[in-house]
Amino acid sequence: MSTTNSPRDAGGTTLPASAPATAPAVTVPDVAPAGSGSAGRPGAPAGNGQRGPAGNGRRRAPAALRALASVWRLWFFAALIVAWWLASASSSSPYFPPLSEILHRLVDLWITGDSKKDLVPSLEHFAIGYAMAGAIGVVGGALLWYFRHVRDAITPLLYFVYVIPSAAILPAIIAVLGIGNGMKIAIIVLASVWPTLLNTVDGMRGVDPLQLDTARVLHMSPLRTVRSVVLPAALPQIMAGLRNSLQISIIMMVVSELVASTSGIGFFILDAQQRFAITDMWTGIIVLAVVGSLLTLVFVAVERLVLGWYIGARAVEGKR
């Protein structure tokens, strides 16, 4: 069971003396990013000690239990690995070596060995490329949102470029930029900038007009309106775009190393396959999966941090 959305101390609503007796008790959802009990976070009840009428006194499960619960969610994943382990244990197929053998090799190559050096250039390209794509996407999207006429002129072109499979522009980029690091970063940026850009434009266009009216009523300057209203209001969609861009960045990081490259994890996998070192090849794929998962986990953690309000508001909406 996931405890993430359980009402946390539903009786924690503080009702002022003059509040109507019929006011619904507010359930305070737990939106803490890391689930730890830090003070002053959104889910913490503002305490003057008063308790609302509808308290059911339910407390959150202790931390250890919650940790166990999140591990339990991985049961199917674990079961698959066990099945793989058992099914491949006596395998003599050169293409599907026993999992135990792959893992041994993985430790030899990637933990005690030197192959981890292959990760460095890959992650460097990814970090630079993804950061650039994110920045260009958000800033460019905001500019396109602001300059409506430019947007109207450019949008059809954007969608036209967006549908080109990223790998298809790789030859063109190699032709222009050669096969160095610049090419690899460029392909990551070019392929992954679109989801963020388009989501930023869309998210900003979708800002509730009443919130913009409110900004005017409160005399916010245009710049403050963008920074304090449009950007946060569009943030849920911007983050969705950034997440999509993240996946594409990881894909393009590998793809760029499959062509005319002598380093990086993509090169490692391709090279192992060509040397017929199938076990090595599998270790590369597993490392890539682990790296991708870790990057996604980091992203989700950041998302929970900056969109805590959104996740919380959605949870409340769902209960109404």
- The span from the CA of 297 to the CA of 309, in Å, is 19
CB of 223 to another protein, least distance (A): 11
Does the footprint of another protein cover residue 219 (CB under 8 A)? yes
Q: Which residue type is seen at 213?
A: D
Give 194: exposed, middle or buried? Use CB within 10 Å, 0-12, 13-18, 19+: buried
- The span from the CA of 245 to the CA of 261, in Å, is 23
CB of 46 to another protein, least distance (A): 5
Does the footprint of another protein cover residue 240 (CB under 8 A)? no
Nearer to another protein, 47 or 94 (CB): 47
- The span from the CA of 297 to the CA of 304, in Å, is 11
CB of 52 to another protein, least distance (A): 10
- The span from the CA of 294 to the CA of 8, in Å, is 29
Query: Which of 40, 94, 165, 318 is close enough to bind another protein by CB under 8 A?
Result: 40
Does the footprint of another protein cover residue 316 (CB under 8 A)? yes
- The span from the CA of 288 to the CA of 281, in Å, is 11
Give the residue from 132, 130, 125, 127 showing the smallest Cα distance to 185: 125
User: Using CB under 8 A, which residues numbered 81 to 100 contact another protein?
Assistant: none
Structure tokens at 282: 């599998």
Does the footprint of another protein cover residue 210 (CB under 8 A)? yes
CB of 41 to another protein, least distance (A): 9
Q: Which residue type is seen at 127?
A: A
Does the footprint of another protein cover residue 19 (CB under 8 A)? yes
Nearer to another protein, 48 or 93 (CB): 48
User: Using CB under 8 A, which residues numbered 103 to 122 contact another protein?
Assistant: none
Does the footprint of another protein cover residue 148 (CB under 8 A)? no
> Residues binding another protein: what is the number (CB under 8 A)?
43
Residues 6+ apart with CB under 8 A from 169: 187, 190, 191
Structure tokens at 283: 């270790």
Residue window 273-312: x/- pattern of binding to another protein, with contact defined by CB under 8 A: ------------------------------------xx-x
CB of 15 to another protein, least distance (A): 9
Does the footprint of another protein cover residue 218 (CB under 8 A)? yes
Whether residue 305 contacts residue 32, with contact meaning beta carbons closer than 8 Å, is answered with: no
Does the footprint of another protein cover residue 232 (CB under 8 A)? yes
CB of 205 to another protein, least distance (A): 16
Nearer to another protein, 58 or 224 (CB): 224
Give the residue from 201, 222, 203, 202 showing the smallest Cα distance to 212: 222
Residues 6+ apart with CB under 8 A from 179: 259, 260, 261
CB of 318 to another protein, least distance (A): 11
CB of 204 to another protein, least distance (A): 15
Nearer to another protein, 229 or 259 (CB): 229
Nearer to another protein, 26 or 169 (CB): 26
CB of 19 to another protein, least distance (A): 7
CA 123 to chain centre: 16
Give the count of beta carbons closer than 10 Å to the beta carbon of residue 186: 22
Whether residue 12 contacts residue 28, with contact meaning beta carbons closer than 8 Å, is answered with: yes
- Applying CB under 8 A, the residues found at the interface with another protein are 14, 16-24, 26, 28-29, 40, 42, 44-48, 208, 210-211, 213-214, 216-221, 224, 228-229, 232-233, 235, 309-310, 312-313, 316-317
